[in-house]
């Protein structure tokens, strides 16, 4: 019998024999009150209103996290409103209808609210309001907000230790700590003119309006930074360098495509099938985007079936191409980026920055292009746009580093996150926990595509039913949950 079962028996709760009695007095702690942690708490509190859900968040605000907190009014969602629906009442679309003044530009572009790409902070406002309502509800159980940083978790007794010395007694813990801050991908001494984390508050404040810039990384983080710089009046030249020099593709509406992939294909076969389908779709006037949308629901199952070698092969050879087609930008953002290129304010090249150093008024960066000789670039500042640090084997996150040292969690050999089985975390000895779980980007090794709202929402649904021991709902298989998430993403 596990320690938790012994404790439950002392409290008169037999988890195995009396399914209804497990509903009494459980304390579930969620570490991280960003998107995933808040939504999980909201959903679990509906299914198990008598349980206490401790939502531990280091920051002052709930429901936002990095994506919907560290953004300005100029940053828009990467997917249309319909794709951001997470099963709450009112729906995101209904909630937005009450705020028409903030939707003008989005509606001008798309015509229909459900197809519109609206400012990102609105989704944060929406979730935050749901959280306010849930926290205001009185009752024996429900969500309790705990403001503080979780520093450690002990197994016996089962507790969470906070930075201010408090210890919280819990029955189960869900880690929803989100993306890690970015790490610099080249050698450089610390400098005010090298921005390591562009999402940190005030990170771009000291960039002058004419400062020549080097942006390292060319994905959606770079696009976010470009849009933020434009909004603050930056008009200087911007040089973007990334390994492949590829910019994210744009969304295009219209058409539909049949499912094209299923578990069992190798990375090479998947590439061949996608290419053939893209050619066929385009010959019929259907945007290639629909083919990628049709692939999306099968991604978790395909990834799951791949061997470690196949996953490594995908990461090495196909990931960059997959990412730019999968992580797309709204059409009006793409138009702005095309304008920057046409005005020669933005140049993009393929290569690696090896090192950078500060010399009087300039920063000199050593660029090894993908083709050609090593060059020196002189700029006024460098902004690291390589996105979140994924490899947790080198994490600076106190809690995650401590949990790894304790052997309570295990990072995967490809450096993608923590090993888990259907959200239950694996310990260093390979045992799957029955009380320690994770959600969102932390669980990438098992799911691969687990960074965006639709997938995380499906994952949350499953974990809520698993923890609440609602076997029928839980028994629904992942592909069914994922069937509807392709279109428009
Ligand atoms: C810039 C950006 C834009 C995105 N745009 C979109 C989009 O348009 N559409 C889409 O579908 N997806 C988008 N995503 C992806 C996705 O929505 C996020 O990755 C998702 O929000 C992840 O949720 P999360 O809860 O795991 O992390 P977060 O929402 O970041 O929350 C993690 C929380 O944990 C807290 N925390 C961490 N450690 C501790 C600790 N030890 N103690 C207490 N609290 C702690 C943090 O303070 C934070 O609030 C975007 C992602 C990013 C980064």
Grouped pLDDT means (10 residues each) for the chain, 489 residues: 38 32 78 98 94 96 93 89 93 92 80 89 96 87 94 96 97 96 93 94 94 96 94 95 94 91 92 96 96 87 92 93 90 92 94 93 94 93 95 92 96 96 94 96 91 89 87 54 42
Closest residue to atom 22 of ligand 1, CA basis: 178
pLDDT at 484: 45
Choice from 33, 177, 200, 401 to test ligand 1 binding pocket (greatest atom count within 8 A of CB): 177
pLDDT at 475: 57
pLDDT at 35: 97
For residue 62, the ligand 1 atom closest to its alpha carbon is: 49
pLDDT at 473: 59
Both structure tokens of 197 = 């984390």
Residue 393 CA, ligand 1 centroid: distance in Å? 20
pLDDT at 474: 57
Residue 305 CA, ligand 1 centroid: distance in Å? 27
Closest residue to atom 51 of ligand 1, CA basis: 67
Closest residue to atom 3 of ligand 1, CA basis: 67
The Cα 31–Cα 173 span in angstroms is 7
Q: How buried is residue 85: exposed, middle or buried, by Cβ count under 10 Å (0-12/13-18/19+)?
A: middle
For residue 440, the ligand 1 atom closest to its alpha carbon is: 26
Neighbours of 211 (CB within 10 A): 17
Q: Is the CB of 80 under 6 A from ligand 1?
A: no
pLDDT at 198: 95
Q: Is the CB of 176 under 6 A from ligand 1?
A: yes
Give per-residue pLDDT as tens, 246-255: 999 999 888 9
Q: Is the CB of 124 under 6 A from ligand 1?
A: no
Question: Is residue 171 within 8 Å of 53, Cβ to Cβ?
Answer: no
Residue 291 CA, ligand 1 centroid: distance in Å? 27
pLDDT at 145: 96
pLDDT at 485: 45
Neighbours of 110 (CB within 10 A): 21
Q: Is the CB of 35 under 6 A from ligand 1?
A: yes
Cβ neighbors of 229 (< 8 A, separation 6 or more) are: 204, 207, 213, 238
Closest residue to atom 50 of ligand 1, CA basis: 67
pLDDT at 280: 97
Q: Is the CB of 386 under 6 A from ligand 1?
A: no
Residue 94 CA, ligand 1 centroid: distance in Å? 23
For residue 76, the ligand 1 atom closest to its alpha carbon is: 8
Residue 243 CA, ligand 1 centroid: distance in Å? 25
pLDDT at 103: 83
pLDDT at 489: 34
Residue 374 CA, ligand 1 centroid: distance in Å? 37
Per-residue exposure over 247-268, b if at least 16 CB sit within 10 Å of its own CB, e if not: bbbbbeeeeebeebbeeebebe
């Amino acid at each position: 019998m596990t320690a938790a079962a012994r404790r439950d028996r002392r409290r008169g709760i037999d988890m195995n024999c009396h399914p209804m009695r497990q509903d009494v007095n459980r304390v579930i702690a969620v570490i991280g009150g960003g998107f995933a942690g808040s939504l999980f708490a909201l959903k679990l509190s509906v299914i198990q209103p008598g349980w206490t859900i401790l939502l531990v968040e280091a920051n002052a605000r709930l429901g936002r996290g990095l994506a919907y907190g560290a953004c300005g009014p100029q940053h828009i969602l990467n997917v249309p409103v319909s794709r951001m629906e997470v099963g709450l009442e009112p729906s995101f679309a209904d909630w937005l209808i009450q705020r028409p003044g903030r939707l003008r530009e989005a509606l001008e572009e798309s015509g229909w609210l459900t197809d519109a790409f609206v400012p990102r902070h609105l989704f944060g406002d929406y979730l935050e309001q749901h959280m306010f309502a849930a926290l205001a509800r009185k009752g024996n159980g429900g969500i309790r907000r705990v403001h503080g940083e979780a520093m450690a978790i002990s197994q016996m007794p089962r507790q969470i230790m906070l930075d201010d010395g408090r210890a919280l007694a819990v029955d189960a813990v869900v880690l929803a700590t989100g993306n890690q801050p970015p790490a610099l991908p080249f050698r450089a001494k610390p400098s005010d003119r090298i921005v390591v984390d562009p999402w940190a508050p005030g990170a771009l404040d000291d960039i002058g309006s004419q400062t020549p810039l080097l942006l390292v990384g060319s994905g959606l983080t770079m696009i976010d930074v470009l849009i933020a710089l434009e909004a603050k009046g930056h008009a200087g030249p911007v040089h973007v360098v990334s390994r492949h020099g590829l910019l994210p593709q744009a969304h295009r509406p219209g058409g539909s495509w049949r499912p094209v992939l299923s578990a069992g294909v190798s990375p090479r076969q998947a590439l061949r099938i996608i290419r053939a389908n893209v050619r066929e779709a385009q010959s019929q006037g259907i945007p290639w985007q629909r083919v990628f949308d049709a692939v999306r629901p099968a991604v978790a199952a395909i990834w799951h079936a791949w061997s470690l070698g196949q996953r490594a092969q995908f990461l090495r050879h196909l990931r960059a191409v997959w990412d730019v087609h999968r992580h797309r930008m709204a059409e009006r953002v793409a138009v702005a980026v095309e304008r920057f290129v046409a005005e020669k304010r933005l140049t993009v090249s393929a290569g690696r920055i090896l090192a950078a150093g500060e010399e009087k008024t300039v920063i000199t960066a050593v660029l090894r292009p993908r083709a050609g000789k090593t060059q020196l670039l002189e700029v006024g500042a460098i902004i690291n746009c390589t996105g979140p640090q994924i490899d947790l084997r080198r994490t600076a996150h106190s809690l995650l580093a401590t949990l790894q040292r304790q052997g309570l969690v295990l990072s995967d050999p490809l450096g993608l996150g923590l090993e888990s089985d259907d959200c239950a975390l694996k310990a260093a000895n390979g045992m799957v926990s029955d009380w320690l779980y994770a959600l969102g980007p932390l669980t990438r090794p098992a799911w691969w595509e687990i960074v965006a709202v639709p997938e995380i929402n499906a994952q949350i649904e499953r974990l809520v039913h698993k923890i609440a021991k609602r076997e029928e709902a839980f028994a629904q298989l992942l592909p069914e949950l994922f069937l509807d998430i392709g279109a428009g993403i």
